[in-house]
């Protein structure tokens, strides 16, 4: 209980560093004589244990003649047994250890015994550990909680996606240690790798690179397209356990497929399992700046359609991790939460990983601090420049200093609510401090001091405008017309999308507007698909007049063009006859499914049968096939449940009842997902409290 490892389903002893644990030695012939007998313990980890590297420790009872930071002390001495307290130092390498004992008796004989194996983890409860977190509610949330939410959707419609982290489930700790041993660091120099496993900075970079499979046989193969026929669509996953167990069962072959939220969820599972406080973060409108100028260039044609940009993109949302640790490798004040991003985007020191980057360093624009701080800064605080491409020429429409990095979100402590932590990453948009930090970061990048993704010779694709301290004048200010899209109904999947374009003439002159409207699907990483709807409108406005232009996109128009991400971008490119300026306005719509309803029938008690009712429906006005329901929940189901439903008729509602036997008490969560040939991720969840058996 003192080591907070009782939740872990495992046969061996599991302890945390910096905290004592007791073992009992039993003797056959006589009692231990403390003044005459000498007991020496040996603890070894890795394939080549070494005293100098810290992977081998030799220490005696009561510390006699022992320079080792490991400690052993006598607790009780009985006629045929000896209880001993052992303690690993708070900086010891984590991993699996072999414990041996040498007994040097007064009779002159030396006997050696192999006592067995134990696993040593990081200890956020120990003030001497680099991952010490001085808040019990935070430790319970960021280390002990085995479920949570990952926020998806868009900044105007943020939805929680339930997730089963399952870090204490059977075999997961074995798989996490196996993951360390499969890394390129271990393969290249196993002795050095094991010696460095006492550092959370080092461990986090190793794990970060191993979650993706770009450099090695990592856990997940990423894919950002529409064809997932040779694997699992990332939207279908509801937990980490099935993914990690599949990776292990196939001889550590990468699992197909993951995207950013799946990478971050797996990383959260591994890091919490190892004892490092970790949370999952979502950044809405996340920049991906490849050339290091802190500018995201977006290109549009004269219909308002966004064009694919192979370099810079704005992801509708992007998900990463924060891990809590001291940063003795940085100047004082930059410890605490660190960004780690296992989604393979750019290389860091030759490998696809990102971080740890200090959140405070990001906020202060200290982009030259290790690791990859400049890249993370651009994800939350780059500027966006929109260009019109027409007749082989590019016309700059406007520069937006506010659009990148919104509603940075994570699950709250002790509740299912969302915490907005944007202020941890940047000063308020539009404030003098925010622009000052942006300029500081840009200057550091220009002088080539960054040691992260960006090199001194990085060149911008376009010259950086001189007046960086203030945003450019928007075309709507020049033309003096305000434009905005507004939905008339909730955007429910299977129904027509009804919306209006609101136009307001802010001048005292007559305005004659030509409006090119378009709609296209987007992937969540910002990649556009071809337009499926276009229209042209002519709007005449008297001085200071407001008008609404109604629009409708039918289900039959968009149904065949949707990606799994269910994102539609509607755009309007507006021009006024007497002005060369053009106004671009757009809105991203996330189509909504009805949620799965889960009812727990009766009281939930450990080791007592429990019935769970799952109610789901087909929201479409057409038949769907190949329906599969998956249900899981740590401490409730021993493995993920898969129920083949088959065909669901249009608008049909159905239910099934599953039976299980809870095996862990406390607050638990059930996660469910329904997929078919027409949709992949209708989800639901239910929090339940499991009582101990009577």
Mean pLDDT of 232-251: 97
For residue 460, what are its two tokens? 């911008």
| CATH number, domain containing residue 538 | 2.60.40.10
Mean pLDDT of 95-115: 84
* Alpha carbon distance 1, 102 (integer Å): 29
Question: Mind listing the pLDDT tens digit for each residue in 370-387?
Answer: 999 999 999 999 999 999
The pLDDT score that the predictor gives to residue 370 is 96
d(CA 124, CA 127): 7
pLDDT, one tens digit per residue, over 334-374 is 999 999 999 988 888 889 899 999 999 999 999 999 999 99
Bridge partner list, 41: 59, 101
* CA gap 206, 193 in Å, rounded: 9
552 and 673, same domain (yes or no): no
Q: Are 191 and 48 in contact (CB under 8 A)?
A: yes
Mean of per-residue pLDDT scores for the chain: 91
> Do residues 183 and 231 share a domain?
yes
Roughly what angle, to the nearest 10 degrees, separates helices 172-181 and 260-274? Answer: 100
Q: What is the pLDDT of residue 109?
A: 64
What's the pLDDT score for residue 458?
36
Residue 385: name the closest of 395, 376, 393, 377 by CA.
Answer: 395
Considering the domain boundaries, does residue 130 fall inside one?
no
Cα–Cα distance between 327 and 561 in angstroms, integer?
Answer: 47
Domain boundary among 536, 557, 590: 590
Say whether both 218 and 290 belong to one domain: yes
* pLDDT value at 662 more than 60: yes
In a domain, 455, yes or no: no
Residues making up the annotated binding site for Ca(2+) are 381, 383, 429, 434
Active-site residue set: 260, 318, 341
Task: For residue 74, give the nearest of 121, 33, 108 by alpha carbon.
Answer: 33
Cα–Cα–Cα angle for 486, 489, 495, nearest 5°?
Answer: 120
Could you count the other beta carbons within 10 Å of the beta carbon of residue 31? Answer: 13
Q: How does strand 220-222 pair with strand 255-258?
A: parallel
Statement to judge: residues 175 and 268 lie in one domain: yes
Specify if 174 maps to a domain: yes
Strand 610-617 vs strand 624-632: parallel, antiparallel, or unpaired? Answer: unpaired
Residues 151 and 77 in one domain: no
pLDDT digits (tens, 9 = 90+) for 527-573: 899 999 999 999 999 999 999 999 999 999 999 999 888 999 999 99
Confidence of residue 2 (pLDDT cuts 50, 70, 90): confident
Same domain, 239 and 303: yes
In a shared domain, residues 578 and 490: yes
Domain annotation covers residue 520: yes
DSSP strands (E only) in 259-400: 278-288, 295-300, 306-307, 313-325, 336-340, 357-358, 383-390, 393-400
Summarize the confidence of residues 105-123 as an average pLDDT: 85
Q: What is the CATH number of the domain that holds 331?
A: 3.90.260.10
Q: How far apart are CA 443 and CA 441, in angstroms?
A: 5
d(CA 438, CA 365): 7
* Token pair belonging to 421: 């932590």
How many CB atoms sit inside 10 A of residue 400's CB? Answer: 16
Question: What mean pLDDT is predicted for residues 242-248?
Answer: 98
Of the candidates 59, 53, 44, 52, the one whose C-alpha atom is nearest the C-alpha of residue 95 is 44
Per-residue pLDDT of 126-170, as tens digits, reads 999 999 999 999 999 999 999 999 999 999 999 999 999 999 999
Stretch 302-311: mean pLDDT, rounded?
83
Whether residues 418 and 292 fall in one domain: yes
Residue 387: domain span: 136-432
Last residue of a domain, one of 74, 93, 121: 121
pLDDT of 416 reads 96
**pLDDT band for position 391 (50/70/90)?**
confident
For the cut 80, the answer to whether the pLDDT of residue 462 exceeds it is: no
Nearest-10 Cα torsion for 403, 458, 363, 133: 120
pLDDT value, residue 470:
42
Average pLDDT on 439-463 reads 60
- Same domain flag for 681 and 581: no
Domain boundary among 563, 590, 617: 590
Residue 214 reports pLDDT greater than 80: yes
pLDDT score, position 57: 96
Q: 402-422, pLDDT tens digit by residue?
A: 999 999 999 999 899 999 999
Query: Do 404 and 332 belong to one domain?
Result: yes
Sign of the torsion angle spanned by Cα atoms 137, 143, 145, 148:
positive
Mean pLDDT of 671-691: 96
CB 399 within 8 A of CB 477: no
Residues 100-129: what's their mean pLDDT? 88
Q: Are residues 270 and 325 in the same domain?
A: yes
Return the SS3 of 519.
strand
Helix axes 373-381, 432-446, angle to 10 degrees: 140
DSSP 46: S
**Residue 476 neighbours by CB distance under 10 Å:** 19
pTM of the predicted protein model: 0.93
Residue 554 inside a domain? The answer is yes
Residues making up the annotated binding site are 381, 383, 429, 434
Q: What phi and psi values does residue 454 have, to the nearest 5 degrees? A: -95, 135
Q: What percent of the chain has pLDDT over 90?
A: 78
Tell me which of 344 and 226 has the higher pLDDT.
Answer: 344
Residues 584 and 523: beta-carbon distance below 8 Å:
no
DSSP string computed for 47-80: SS--TTTTSEEEEEBTTTT---S-EEEEEEE-SS
Q: Percent of the chain scored above 70 by pLDDT?
A: 94
pLDDT for residue 86 is more than 90:
yes
Helix, strand, coil shares of the chain, percent, nearest 5, are 15, 40, 40
Q: Cα separation of 574 and 580, whole Å? A: 11
Of 7-16, 244-253, 553-562, where does mean pLDDT reach its minimum?
Answer: 7-16
> Is 3 within a domain?
no
607 in a domain, yes or no?
yes
Q: How many helices (H) and strands (E) does the chain have?
A: 13, 36
The model's confidence at residue 309, banded by pLDDT at 50, 70 and 90, is confident
- pLDDT tens-digit series, residues 281-303: 999 999 998 888 899 999 999 88
Q: What is the per-residue DSSP string for 150-184?
A: EEEEETTEEEEEEEE--TTSTTHHHHHHHHHHTSH
Cα–Cα distance, 435 to 471 (Å, whole number): 10
pLDDT value at residue 463: 40
The answer to whether position 452 is within a domain reads no
Cα–Cα distance between 559 and 418 in angstroms, integer? 31
**Domains: count for the chain:** 4
Say what the pLDDT of residue 290 is. Answer: 81
């Amino acid at each position: 209980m003192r080591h907070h490892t009782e939740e872990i389903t495992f046969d061996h002893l599991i302890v945390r560093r910096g905290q004592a644990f007791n073992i009992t030695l039993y003797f056959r012939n006589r009692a231990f004589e403390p003044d005459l007998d000498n007991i020496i313990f040996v603890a070894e980890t890795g394939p080549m244990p070494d005293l100098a590297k810290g992977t081998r420790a030799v220490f005696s009872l009561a510390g006699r003649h022992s320079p080792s930071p490991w400690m052993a002390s006598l607790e009780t001495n009985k006629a045929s047994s000896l209880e001993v307290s052992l303690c690993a130092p708070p900086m010891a390498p984590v991993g699996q250890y072999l414990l041996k004992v040498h007994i040097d008796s007064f009779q002159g004989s030396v006997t050696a015994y192999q006592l067995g194996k134990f696993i040593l983890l990081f200890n956020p409860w120990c003030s001497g550990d680099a991952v010490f977190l001085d808040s019990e509610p935070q430790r319970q949330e960021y280390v002990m909680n085995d479920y949570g939410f990952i926020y998806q959707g868009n900044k105007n419609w943020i939805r929680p996606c339930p997730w089963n982290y399952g870090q204490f489930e059977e075999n997961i700790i074995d798989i996490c240690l196996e993951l360390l041993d499969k890394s390129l660091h271990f393969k290249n120099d196993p002795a050095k790798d094991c010696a460095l496993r006492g550092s959370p900075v080092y461990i986090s970079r190793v794990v970060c690179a191993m979650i993706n499979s770009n450099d090695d046989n990592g856990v997940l193969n990423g894919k950002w397209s529409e064809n997932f026929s040779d694997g699992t669509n990332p939207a279908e996953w509801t937990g980490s356990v099935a993914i990690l167990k599949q990776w292990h069962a196939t001889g550590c072959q990468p699992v197909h497929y993951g995207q950013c939220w799946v990478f971050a969820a797996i990383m959260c599972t591994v890091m919490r399992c190892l004892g490092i406080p970790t949370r999952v973060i979502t950044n809405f409108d996340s920049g991906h700046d490849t050339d290091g100028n802190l500018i995201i260039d977006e290109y549009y044609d004269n219909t308002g359609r966004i064009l694919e940009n192979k370099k810079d993109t704005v992801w509708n949302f992007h998900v990463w991790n924060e891990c809590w640790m001291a940063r003795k490798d940085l100047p004082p004040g930059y410890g605490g939460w660190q960004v780690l991003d296992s989604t393979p985007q750019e290389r860091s020191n030759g490998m696809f990983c990102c971080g740890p980057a200090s959140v405070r360093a990001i906020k202060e624009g200290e982009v030259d601090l290790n690791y990859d701080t400049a890249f993370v800064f651009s994800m939350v605080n780059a500027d966006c420049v929109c260009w019109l491409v027409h007749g082989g020429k590019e016309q700059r429409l406007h520069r937006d200093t506010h659009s990148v990095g919104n509603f940075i979100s994570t699950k709250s402590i002790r509740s299912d609510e969302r915490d907005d932590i944007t202020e941890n990453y940047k000063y308020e948009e539009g404030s003098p401090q925010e622009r000052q930090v942006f300029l500081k970061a840009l200057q550091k990048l220009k002088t080539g001091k960054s040691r992260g993704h960006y090199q001194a010779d990085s060149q911008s694709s376009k010259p950086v405008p001189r007046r960086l301290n203030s945003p450019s004048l928007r075309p709507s200010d020049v033309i003096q017309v305000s434009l905005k899209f507004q939905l008339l109904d909730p955007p429910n999947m299977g129904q027509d999308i009804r919306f209006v374009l609101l136009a307001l003439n802010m001048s005292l002159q007559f305005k004659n507007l030509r409006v090119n409207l378009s709609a296209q699907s987007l992937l969540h990483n910002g990649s556009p698909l071809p337009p499926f709807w276009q229209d042209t409108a002519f709007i005449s406005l008297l001085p200071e007049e407001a008008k609404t232009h109604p629009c409708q996109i039918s289900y039959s128009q968009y149904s065949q063009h949707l990606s799994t991400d269910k994102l539609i971008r509607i755009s309007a490119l507006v021009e006024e006859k007497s002005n060369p300026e053009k106004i671009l306005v757009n809105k991203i719509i996330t189509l909504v499914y009805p949620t799965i309803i889960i009812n727990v029938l009766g009281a939930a008690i450990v080791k007592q049968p429990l019935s769970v009712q799952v109610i789901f429906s087909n929201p479409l006005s057409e038949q769907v096939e190949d329906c599969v329901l998956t249900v899981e929940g740590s401490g409730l189901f021993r493995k993920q449940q898969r129920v083949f439903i088959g065909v669901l008729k249009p608008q049909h509602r159905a239910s099934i009842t599953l039976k299980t036997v809870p095996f862990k008490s406390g607050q638990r969560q059930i996660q469910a997902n329904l997929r078919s040939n027409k949709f992949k991720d209708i989800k639901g969840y239910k929090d339940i409290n499991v009582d101990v058996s009577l």
